Amino acid sequence: MAGSAGGRVRWAVVGTGGISRRTVRDLIASGDADVVAVASRTQETADAFAAEFGLAAAFGSLADLCASDAVDAVYIGTPHSTHFAYAKTALEAGKHVLCEKPLTMTADEAIELGEIARRHDVFLMEAMWMKFGPGVQRSLELIASGVIGEPRFLQAGLGYPVPEDGPPRFWDAALGGGALYDMGVYTVALAQLLFGTPTSITAGGAMRPDGVDLHESYQLEFASGASAQLVTSITFLVPPRGWIGGTRGSITLDEPLFSPRSIRVTTGRPPAPPEVETIEFPPEDVGYLPMFRAVNAAILAGEREHPTHPLSATVDVLRTLEQIRSLLASAPSTKG
C-alpha cells in the first residue's frame, strides 16, 4: 500500500503528451503534493519532460516507476485505450491512481480496476475535473437550495472540428478515438450527476467503419421524468455550454462546459421580465486545481474513493457510453 511522506503525496506523471503537459503545473501547485517523477515509453522523452518541469526522477517505463519507493500516487495522462493496463499495473504495485477520463473503455474494466484497488487498499478515481470545478459545484448548491425548482431538463454539447492530422487520440481507433469517449463523457457525466441512471437512450450520428465516431446526438430519459439532449462532435463546432431547466428557473453553464467561467441563474414567471444573476469564476490556472486538491486531501485522509466522483458514477457513465456506441454501430444510416 502506498504511503505518504511528511503529510504530502508524492506524485508521478505517466505520459508526456499534451494532456500531461497541460495538467502537470496544476498538480505541482495543488498543495500537499510533491510531483517527483515522470514515466514515458522512452527514457529520452521522460528525461526531457522531467527537465522541463523540474522533476527529480524520470523513468523509461511504467514498470520502472512502479518499482520506486519514492512514489505514492500516479496521474495517468495517456491515450484512452492504455488506461486500463496502466492503471492495473500501478494499482497492483500499490500506487494510488488518478486516471484521465474515460477511466477505461468499458464498464467491466472499470469494475475490475475497482476490485484491484480494494485488494491493494489504494485510492482510485477517474479525473472527472468538471465535477470539482466551482461552476458545477455552485450550480449543484443552487439546485439543492430550490432556486430553480425541480431540475427536469439538460441540454449540453461539446465539439469542434479536429484536423485529421490533429491529436491521434481523436482519429486512431486503436487509441479509442472519436468524439464520444473524449467529449461525450463530460455531457453524460453531467446528465447523470443531475438525474441519475437513464432508463431510456436514443442516439444517432456518424461512425466510420473502423469504429471512430465522428459526431452524435443522444437523448437520455430518466425515471423522474427528466431528460437530457446532448451533442458531441469532432467534425463540426458544438458550443461547449450547458443549460439546466427547472420548474422555477434555469441555470446556464457558460463556456467551457467542463470548467465554466461563469453561470447564469434565471428565475421569474412570464409575462414578468426574468431575474438574471451572473456568477463568475475567474480561472485558476488550467482548472484542475480543485480536483487535485480534493484528491490529495482524500489520499492523506486514508480514503480510497472520493464522494464527489466515486467509482460507481464512472461505471454508470461507461455503461451509458457503451449503449450509445452500440446504437450508433447498429444503425446503417449512421456510418460515416
Give backbone dihedrals phi and psi of 245, rounded to 5 degrees, phi first: -100, 130
Listed in sequence order, the residues at least 6 apart from 132 whose beta carbon sits closer than 8 Å to its beta carbon are 290, 291, 294, 308, 309
Amino acid at 126: E
CATH number for the domain formed by residue range(s) 131-287+317-334: 3.30.360.10
In the chain, what are the domain boundaries? 9-127, 131-287+317-334
Q: What is the DSSP string of 68-87?
A: -TT-SEEEE-S-GGGHHHHH
The catalytic site residues sit at 101
Asked, colleague to colleague, whether 9-127 and 131-287+317-334 share their fold, the answer is: no
CA nearest 187: which of 304, 102, 280, 85? 102
The pTM for the full model equals 0.94
Q: CA of 264: how far to CAs of 129, 177, 239, 275, 277, in Å?
A: 21, 33, 16, 10, 6
pLDDT per residue, tens digit, the chain (336 aa), is 455 556 899 999 999 999 999 999 999 999 899 999 999 999 999 999 999 999 999 999 999 999 999 999 999 999 999 999 999 999 999 999 999 999 999 999 999 999 999 999 999 999 999 999 999 999 999 999 999 999 999 999 999 999 999 888 899 999 999 999 999 999 999 999 999 999 999 999 999 999 999 999 999 999 999 999 999 999 999 999 999 999 999 999 999 999 999 999 999 888 888 999 999 999 888 899 999 999 999 999 999 999 999 999 999 999 999 999 999 998 765 545
CATH topology of domain 9-127: Rossmann fold (3.40.50)
